[in-house]
């Protein structure tokens, strides 16, 4: 297998884009990535999108977006794994270059969520429709069950949950592409509207429009064109039961652990090697459990871990320097690509006020539903 | 790149399955493929599905279907390219083995269409929603425009169009998995209800439920386990404008031509080498134009070509021996995989009454929308 590197990246600002359509958002992000890569040639294109069908009534977006980007005739693939669609698109593009089938691949993610009357119901299509959503379960409710169980078993507190949002808003305030660029206090998070106890409004990621794109090429090509070279060294994917009630232990996210293990194994790395990490904080509790599953802290101890500042910029393992899904926003199909872009920026030393010092190895973890699918990538600065 | 072979295949009967759900259909086809392959180990799974979101309200079907198949934790990818979703899933599985990332990959397609109030509108999501469907265009109407233009430019007749359905129903009558297992006369086709002039009801593929699955492995493994070995030698994909009105010439399907050229080039084959072919006859006119674009007959001559019997079993190039989408049925996400299964059966000499004598090289052509995406595979008997 050939080594694969990142040669360009671009994203739209994440926010409610009332004047842009799905295709507009994609084209903006893709053109930025093409400009950044300084190569107009694209051999093949992947787009991760959870549900353009339910959000805007449009399927078949592979050729549609290629056409609007001016890439008519290029092979295109649309990939869906709910909120993990973006990272899965990246993995497939990685594989296409690693296999030698193509040289220059655009991998992207997009979601236009605000044109839909009822995005919460559309999002529920990522749960088990027949056995969860039909009976009224929505994602805030399902993650609240997980949070309750974690509090009960490990003594995780409401304050520790809320601390995730405080940290991520602090980081988001330094990110010009974030939906919410302002800090919030612990009190504000705790006193915000209760969505599903213990999850308050400020512990739930928002409805967002946005797109993100990356251009992947063989590593040799990046070395010729860029000073600071980043390669993808690990890619892991795993699945779990789609329904939360089918799991042995709802305080664990098995697909995250397995995807992490597979990525670590492929890269030949351990948790201690990771300098910076983006994780899928769709709800505050998700970040806590993911940090445990990826091996950064022992099972059950994530609450104390974040409270002690370990996951802040400057801490032992900075998590969600971008602001995470909470503050940066969560256009579901785009989030997995945007996470990788944040890590890429950190590794090339281009993360501005959010820069983690001496970041040389980074990780991005994306997941769908209540963790029925998860994708983990490890990226490293190449010599 | 490693060579890739087929070690097992399975499909449900294609029909209106009122007692089976999306997950039931998938599991039936996948278990048949696993039985056929005589290997319970699966490293990775791809599923092609156009719109489980619009048809049954369920997204995130990768992990859902893996779970129901008993493959929890396996990496899964759902792929969408409208009616070309199935073949695209096959291509990605092919790439995963070719790259060396995995050894045993289940590639599948599924669609449960009859649970939806208005499948024609759901299918229209494969067209340009903003510029075609919003103004009332449906696929029968769009393909009728194409048919009119082909008649006008090349003198193609209503009888030649209808001959496609007559041939495909004749083949479907010999296929125990087909939705319609009965022959129809030219008069019956011509006199059936006019859907969109010149396309009568019997020139339009039906609404169908069904699933299909194939297991891919490195070629060496097939050689050890099977007497008759089939390898995939060519895989081509291309896209075109999603909107029909954006094309220079609506009597051509550029994505089909390009995907075909790419597959021929990869396999080192020419049209004359192909012994049997499955094409995407969503409407009668589609089969005629595809036969031209794949190089089996000169542009504009497909009407006479079929009238003279060249595409019948026993003719120069048998097309749609399975009955095609018209008679076999068209559960959109499954069709691309079912086409490949028909070619596989032909090449291993297992096509029963439909068997093409001495078939050693076969082709399957799948497409989405009015040809905005197309995927072509070439398969060959390996020594």
B220 and B97 together in one domain:
yes
Residue tagged active-site, from A17, A150, A169, A330: A330
Q: What is the pLDDT of residue A39?
A: 85
A84 and A197 together in one domain:
no
**Distance, CA of A124 to chain centre:** 18
Mutation site for A-interface testing, chosen from B80, B94, B120 by largest number of A Cβ within 10 Å: B80
Nearest chain A residue to B70, by CA: A241
pLDDT single digits (tens) A305-351: 999 999 999 999 999 999 999 999 999 999 999 999 999 999 999 99
Nearest chain B residue to A75, by CA: B238
Could you say which residues from 155 to 194 on chain B have a Cβ atom under 8 Å away from some Cβ of chain A?
Answer: none
A84 and A148 together in one domain:
no
Report the 3 state secondary structure along chain B. CCCEEEEEEEECCCECCCCCCHHHHHHHHHHHHHHHHCCCCCCEEEEECCCHHHHHCCCCHHHHHHHHHCCCCCCEEEEEECECHHHHHHHHHHHHHHCCCCCCEEEEEEEECCCCCCHHHHHHCCCCCCCCHHHCCCHHHHHHHHHHHHHHHHCCCHHHHHHHHHHHHHHHCCCCCCCCCCCCCHHHHHHCCEEECCEEHHHECCCCEEEEEEEEEEHHHHHHHCCCEEEEEEEEEEECCCCHHHCCCCCCCHHHHHHHHHHHHHHCCCHHHCCEEECCCCEHHHHHHHHHHCCCCCCCCHHHHHHCCCCCCCCCCCECCCCHHHHHCCCHHHHHHHHHHHHHHHHCCCCHHHCCCCCCEEEEEEEECCCCEEEEEEEEEEC
B111 and B74 together in one domain:
yes
Q: Is the pLDDT of residue A26 over 90?
A: yes
Domain interval for residue B126:
119-204+232-382
A324 and A213 together in one domain:
no
For this complex, say whether ipTM is above 0.90. yes
Q: What is the pLDDT of residue B99?
A: 86
| CB hemisphere CA count around B286 (13 angstroms) | 32
Measured between beta carbons, the chain B residues lying within 8 angstroms of A78 are 79-81
pLDDT single digits (tens) A167-208: 999 999 999 999 999 999 999 999 999 999 999 999 999 999
CATH code of the domain in which B213 resides: 3.40.47.10
A171 and A290 together in one domain:
yes
Residue whose entry in the numeric block shows the structure tokens 């969560």: A330
Q: What is the pLDDT of residue B39?
A: 85
Q: Is B204 a catalytic residue?
A: no
Q: Is B17 a catalytic residue?
A: no
A149 and A246 together in one domain:
yes
Could you say which residues from 239 to 268 on chain B have a Cβ atom under 8 Å away from some Cβ of chain A?
Answer: 239-242, 246, 254-255, 258
Confidence of residue A135 (pLDDT cuts 50, 70, 90): very high
Q: What is the pLDDT of residue B194?
A: 98
B192 and B216 together in one domain:
no
A180 and A215 together in one domain:
no
- Nearest CB partner across the interface for A96, out of B63, B67, B95: B95
Reported pTM? 0.97
* Total domain count, chain A: 2
Q: What is the pLDDT of residue B268?
A: 98
Could you say which residues from 296 to 335 on chain B have a Cβ atom under 8 Å away from some Cβ of chain A?
Answer: none
Q: Is the pLDDT of residue A35 over 90?
A: yes
- Tell me if A213 is assigned to some domain: yes
User: What average pLDDT is seen over chain A?
Assistant: 97
Which stretches of chain B drop beneath a pLDDT of 70? none
B46 and B156 together in one domain:
no
Measured between beta carbons, the chain A residues lying within 8 angstroms of B98 are 99, 101
Could you say which residues from 73 to 92 on chain B have a Cβ atom under 8 Å away from some Cβ of chain A?
Answer: 73-82, 88, 92
pLDDT single digits (tens) A252-305: 999 999 999 999 999 999 999 999 999 999 999 999 999 999 999 999 999 999
- Tell me if A168 is assigned to some domain: yes
- Tell me if A128 is assigned to some domain: no
B39 and B108 together in one domain:
yes
Return d(Cα A222, Cα A137) in angstroms, integer.
46
A93 and A178 together in one domain:
no
CB contact under 8 A, A60 and B98: no
Q: What is the pLDDT of residue A160?
A: 98
């Amino acid at each position: 297998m050939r080594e694969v590197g990142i040669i360009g990246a671009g994203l739209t600002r994440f926010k409610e884009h009332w004047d842009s359509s799905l295709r507009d958002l994609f084209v903006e992000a893709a053109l930025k990535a093409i400009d950044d890569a300084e190569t107009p040639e694209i051999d093949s294109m992947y787009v991760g999108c959870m549900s353009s069908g339910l959000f805007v009534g449009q399927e078949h977006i592979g050729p549609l977006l290629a056409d609007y980007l001016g890439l008519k005739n290029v092979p295109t693939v649309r990939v869906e794994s709910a909120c993990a669609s973006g990272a899965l698109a990246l993995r497939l593009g990685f594989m296409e270059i690693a296999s030698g089938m193509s040289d220059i691949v655009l991998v992207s993610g997009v979601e236009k969520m605000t044109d839909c009357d009822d995005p919460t119901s559309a999002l529920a299509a990522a749960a088990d429709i027949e056995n969860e959503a039909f009976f009224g379960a929505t994602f805030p409710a399902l993650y609240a069950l997980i949070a309750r169980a974690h509090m009960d078993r490990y003594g995780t507190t409401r304050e520790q949950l809320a601390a995730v949002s405080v940290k991520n808003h602090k980081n988001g305030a330094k990110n010009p592409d974030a939906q919410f660029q302002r800090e919030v206090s612990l009190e504000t998070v705790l006193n915000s509207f209760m969505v599903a106890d213990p999850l308050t409004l400020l512990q739930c990621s928002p409805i967002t429009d946005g797109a993100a794109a990356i251009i992947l090429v063989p590593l040799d090509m990046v070395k010729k064109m860029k000073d600071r070279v980043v390669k993808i060294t690990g890619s892991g994917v795993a699945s779990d039961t789609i329904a939360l009630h089918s799991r042995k232990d709802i305080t664990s996210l098995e697909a995250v652990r397995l995807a992490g293990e597979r990525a670590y194994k492929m890269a030949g790395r351990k948790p201690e090697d990771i300098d910076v990490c983006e994780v899928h904080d769709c709800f505050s509790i998700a970040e806590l459990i993911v940090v445990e599953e990826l091996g950064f802290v022992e099972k059950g101890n994530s609450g104390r871990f974040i409270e002690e500042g370990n996951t802040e910029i400057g801490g032992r393992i900075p998590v969600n320097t971008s602001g995470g899904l909470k503050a940066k926003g969560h256009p579901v199909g785009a989030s997995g690509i945007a996470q990788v872009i944040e890590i890429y920026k950190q590794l090339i030393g281009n993360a501005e006020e959010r820069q983690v010092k001496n970041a040389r190895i980074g990780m991005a973890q994306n997941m769908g539903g209540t963790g029925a699918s998860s994708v983990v990538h490890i990226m490293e600065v190449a010599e």
